[in-house]
Homo-oligomer: A and B are copies of this chain.
Amino acid sequence: MTAPQIATTLRADILAGRITPGEALQQEDLAARFGVSRIPVRDALQQLAAARLVEVVPGRGARVVRLTRDELAEVFELRRLLECNALRRATTRAKAADHEAVDHARQQSDLEAGRPGWQAGDWAFHAALYAAANHPRQIAMIAELRDTCQMHIAAYDRLSDDTPRWLADHQAISAAFCAGDADAAASRLAKHIMAARDRLLTLLAD
């Protein structure tokens, strides 16, 4: 097990909720788990810190990031800002090939909906939506924010099943995108994101 592999594995564990927000990540434990020394573990933890999935306090070790309600609300606000902007930009620039790619990704995500690992298909659809914006750094920032959300969703919201509504949202966004209607697409997407926010925040009330 090399450092990047360890980072990838831990990242998957965090996003799937197998390691929950707030949990301490001790170097020796992880070293024993992966059968390596602490050095590559330290590297992996730093890489995860770069992705804002864990926070390392010098001298006090690493913990999985755990956001408060306010912080999560801010993250969703930023997602709305960045994702709607990316979608507007992409919609006005999209060619026929982009429309096809989006439609294909949407159908693919439909098939995976509800099944374990559906998040990958969901992200593939959104990534296809934003691809035509040609703003790779913006997409990377969006992905980071989404990961932060999914981490908490996986921890607190294992049983949610709004898939019908999600599919309808995707349908509407996709249609507006292919029609070149940036305003409609952005408006639908904003509602989509705000719905996700409300679902998580109400569940967090417990």
Binding site for B on A (CB under 8 A): 2-4, 39, 42-43, 46-47, 49-50, 58, 71, 74-75, 77-78, 81-82, 85, 135-138, 141
Contacts and interface: CB of A to CB of B under 8 A. Distances in A.
Contact of A81 (B2, B58, B77, B85): B85
A39 B42 CA distance: 10
Copies in the complex: 2
A148 to B, nearest CB: 9
A31 to B, nearest CB: 15
A101 to B, nearest CB: 21
A71 B135 CA distance: 8
Q: Which 9 A-B pairs have the closest CB atoms?
A: A50-B50, A46-B46, A74-B135, A74-B137, A81-B85, A49-B50, A4-B58, A78-B138, A81-B81
Given A50-B49, A82-B81, A137 B43 contact: no
Given A46-B46, A46-B49, 7 more contacts: A43-B46, A46-B47, A46-B50, A71-B137, A74-B136, A74-B137, A81-B82
Contacts of A136: 71, 74
Contacts of A4: 58
Given A81-B81, A82-B81, A75 B42 contact: no
A77 B85 CA distance: 11
Nearest to A50: B50
Contacts of A71: 136-137
A33 B78 CA distance: 40
A75 B135 CA distance: 9
